[in-house]
Structure 1
């Protein structure tokens, strides 16, 4: 994150997830390391970050790398995330320029037209991947509540 010049962006990403840390780069034996500044001094980021925050740091590191890829696949990307964080990450991935991103989830809360178009949602069932629009005789519109339709069995084929 430091090497890529993304420390301030990472700090802002954490702030958007309601994690307020004052990040600084500290030279440790000639290697820049991520530290947190507090009133009493600085401590290594890894020593004060929760498991969840460390998970976000790892995600953010890979996010930097993803921007240089053409295809990204992340299975169960949100297995340990709450809804708001999952949605935020989908928005970040959706907005990557020139990168085709595939993500899998069991989180039906993400099945919404205001996040993505209905034609980009797919269901994997019994070894087949099918688009939502192919699983219903209805013409899917922005006004449809995709999650509610899914829970009601509208996409059971």
Structure 2
């Protein structure tokens, strides 16, 4: 079982790093990536909170290294995957994983980025646009992941891997 989780986590990291460079919502120093949120919801369902957290951490580090992410990826992605996993494992419903991601990243993560922006000297990053970018990005990623997971579920593919 752990080998399957390691494998899925590695695949999710690779997909996240590569695809996050394609679709980005820039807002000053913030680079919101809907792919991160899509991957977070997939992680919530396939690998759970701890492997999902590792994926979010490693993906954020790699995205920053390659210039496709920013330090604001850490609070959003990590809280998002934990909340998505918690919501999913509590109710065992894919929709709840998507909701957890939106609340975790879109709302809580964006709020935690505000003091980070001030500490890093980006005090001019307005609260409402910052939160809007995180919410829009997380909603887009959560909707796409929900659709992917529902297709996999209807075709019987999802049950084989859980």
TM-score, length-scaled by structure 2: 0.29
Give 1 or 2: higher strand fraction: 1
Structure possessing the higher relative contact order (Cα contacts under 8 Å, 6 or more residues apart): 2
Please identify which structure carries the higher helix content.
2
User: Which is higher, the Rg of structure 1 or of structure 2?
Assistant: 1
With the length of structure 1 as denominator, give the TM-score of the two structures.
Answer: 0.30
